[in-house]
């Protein structure tokens, strides 16, 4: 069989040189309008933290350099950066010479800031894997004995609270899955929900999270949907939602959204990342 006859996706030309035009912005307002969020005042703070595992360029003498990088995009930026375009853009550095590592980081920060419409931070290196620490401070709901039959679209009506109990806790699930709206490929994540307010019905929360399973939406928009649905249905005094997506194409993304009183979570990676 000819490989071109296989369902392996469309051929994409490999970049032959550095090209910032490969970056593709997606207006955040589009996804926020779908969940009734005012893009000018969304009611949350947050960042999208990308980890890049496959990064290389040539030094001034043509010798390859390799690195990893952490890219932080503020949630208040007008645009999110589409992931496949980010991968193609990073690949465009592979055959291009740069005078120093600092020049590469500065070029990336400038290009990504222009794409996102707000200052983006680029730092070489990755945060440590902290799966054990994350589990120590959060309680998994994945072991609940529940029947589930809703796999999309996401249904906020599945959420329920115990109004007579006020708690301050962090719940986590590794069963979040959605699909990329561009390629249709699956996106997998562990999600952590830290809140103070009426106790969430855990079985209901798990059913709700699984209802994303056949849903097509960007990672960032999924997290904003979870945050918005929890805030509307449970009305917590304080809320933080972070999802750590497994890598695809040498990239993983970790969107975080929270009420203004919440400090940003310590950057870290899961063992699946």
Q: Give catalytic residues, as residue numbers.
A: 180, 187
Rg, C-alpha atoms of the chain: 20
CB 249 within 8 A of CB 88: no
Query: 32-59 burial, b if ≥16 CB within 10 A, otherwise e?
Result: beebebeeeebebbbbbbbbbebbebee
CB 172 within 8 A of CB 138: yes
CB 85 within 8 A of CB 250: no
Closest CA to 258 of 76, 71, 8: 76
CA distance to 58, 77, 97, 269, per residue, from 61 (Å): 7, 37, 8, 34
Residue that has been written with the tokens 């040498």 in this structure: 250
CA distance 89 to 71: 13
For residue 241, the number of C-alpha atoms closer than 13 Å in the C-beta half-sphere is 20
CA distance to 69, 85, 145, 183, per residue, from 6 (Å): 33, 23, 40, 16
CB 21 within 8 A of CB 60: no
CA distance 178 to 248: 13
CA distance 122 to 71: 5
């Amino acid at each position: 069989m000819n490989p071109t006859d296989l369902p392996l996706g469309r051929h994409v030309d490999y970049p032959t040189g550095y090209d910032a035009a490969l970056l593709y912005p997606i207006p955040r307002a589009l996804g926020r309008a779908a969940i009734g969020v005012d893009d000018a005042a969304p009611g949350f703070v947050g960042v999208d933290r990308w980890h890049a595992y496959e990064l290389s360029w040539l030094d001034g003498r043509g010798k390859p350099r390799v690195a990893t990088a952490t890219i932080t995009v503020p949630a208040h930026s007008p645009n999110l950066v589409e992931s496949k375009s980010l991968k193609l853009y990073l690949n465009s550095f592979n055959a291009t010479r740069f005078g120093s590592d600092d020049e590469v980081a500065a070029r990336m920060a400038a290009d990504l800031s222009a794409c996102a419409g707000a200052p983006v931070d680029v730092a070489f290196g990755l945060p440590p894997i902290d799966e054990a620490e994350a589990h120590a401070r959060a309680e998994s709901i994945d072991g609940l004995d529940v029947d589930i039959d809703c796999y999309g679209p996401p249904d906020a009506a599945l959420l329920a609270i115990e109004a007579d109990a006020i708690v301050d806790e962090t719940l986590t699930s590794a069963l979040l899955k959605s699909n990329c709206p561009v390629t249709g490929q699956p996106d997998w994540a562990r999600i952590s929900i830290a809140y103070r307010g009426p106790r969430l019905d855990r079985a209901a929360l798990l059913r709700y999270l699984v209802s994303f399973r056949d849903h097509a939406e960007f990672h960032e928009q999924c997290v904003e949907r979870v945050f918005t649905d929890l805030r509307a249905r449970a009305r917590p005094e304080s809320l933080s939602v972070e999802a750590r997506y497994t890598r695809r194409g040498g990239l993983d993304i970790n969107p975080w959204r929270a009420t203004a009183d919440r400090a940003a979570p310590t950057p870290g990676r899961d063992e699946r990342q």
